[in-house]
Structure 1
Amino acid sequence: MDFAYADELNRTIRIVALKHRARAAALLADLGLYPGQEIVLLELDTLGPRKQAELAVSCECEPPTVSQLVRKLEIAGLITRQPSTTDARAIVVDLTDRGRALMGPLKSRWIELAEVTAAGLETTKPDELLSVVHELARSLCPAAALRLDQRFERRSECRQRTIN
């Protein structure tokens, strides 16, 4: 790979990341959320109560980042933190009723973000884009490959059930 190609690739990925985050921020703002907080809420909605350490893994975040996100979401009344009943060192995080009530609007914004992101595709189908982005994620974070593949399989199974 030469410098010109590497420069174009890196700059393009940077622009996509920056613009996607900015769009997410705009869509989440009226819900009182900031980028990053939505992932914690979506994970808790999907997986149920989680130890904070498990949440860090499933959100692909460092534990200190999740601690900060959880603290702010708790202050906002969207989640609770309780000591684990099975591990005295662990904290279990769960959605509050207010957090659960936010899930419908949050999922709508999440869908809108994906639609806006893929709206300008001319030659690439959304499923092809998802496949390429998954490859990039696996390339950058091999440890996350299994979790990404499992999510992709669940999504494919859900779509197949919807079609049939």
Structure 2
Amino acid sequence: MDFEQADALNQAIRLLSLRHRARAAALLAPLGLHPGQEALLLELARSGPSIQTQLSEALGCEPPSVTLMVRKLEAAGHIRRAPAPADRRASIVELTDSGRELTGQIKRLWCDLAEETVTGLSAETVADLPGILRTLSGNVDAKGRHPHNDGRP
């Protein structure tokens, strides 16, 4: 791939990421949420009560970030923590009634955001996008596992 094509691709990915996050932030703000917190709430809705380490792995973020999100969401009454029976040092995190209600609102916003994002694309392209994006993410995650074979460092 030449630089022009690489630059166009990297710029498009960067701009999409920035604009999508900004739009998500604008949609979440009226709910009193910041980007990232919705992912934690949706993960709890999907998986049920979880320890913070599991949440960190599922969300792909560092444990201190999850701890901070959990504290803020607990203070807002959307989740609760309890010591894990098997390991008193670990906390089990679960949705409260308020969190379950908020998750329903987040799901509606997420549908709206997805529809805004793919406006103008064919149904076939939209159906292919999740797989394409997962492949791109996997390629970036695997960056250290595929050394260049063409002499570049």
Letter in 2 for 1:54: Q
The equivalent of 2:72 in structure 1 is 72
The equivalent of 2:131 in structure 1 is 131
Deviations 1:22-74 (A, max 9, x none): 11111111111111000000000110000000000111111111111111111
Q: Does residue 56 in structure 1 map to residue 49 in structure 2?
A: no
Higher-Rg structure is: 2
List 4+ stretches of structure 1 deviating above 2 A.
120-124
Partners of 2:101 and 2:86 in 1: CA distance: 28
Partners of 2:98 and 2:49 in 1: CA distance: 15
Q: Judging changes above 3 Å, is the alpha-carbon distance between structure 1 residues 43 and 105 closer, same or farther for their aligned structure 2 residues?
A: same
Q: Judging changes above 3 Å, is the alpha-carbon distance between structure 1 residues 2 and 124 closer, same or farther for their aligned structure 2 residues?
A: farther
Unaligned regions of 5+ residues in structure 1, if any? Answer: 143-164
Equivalent residues in 2 for 1:71-110, closer than 5 Å:
71-110=71-110
Letter in 2 for 1:128: D
The equivalent of 1:148 in structure 2 is none
**How many angstroms does 1:2 deviate by?**
2.2
CA RMSD of aligned residues (A): 1.5
The equivalent of 1:159 in structure 2 is none
When normalised by structure 2's length, the TM-score is 0.87
Partners of 1:17 and 1:36 in 2: CA distance: 14
What percent of counterpart residues are identical? 50
The equivalent of 2:46 in structure 1 is 46
Deviations 1:99-125 (A, max 9, x none): 111121111001111111111325962
The equivalent of 1:118 in structure 2 is 118
Question: What number of residue pairs does the alignment pair up?
Answer: 142
Partners of 2:122 and 2:103 in 1: CA distance: 31
Unaligned regions of 5+ residues in structure 2, if any? Answer: 143-153
Letter in 2 for 1:9: L
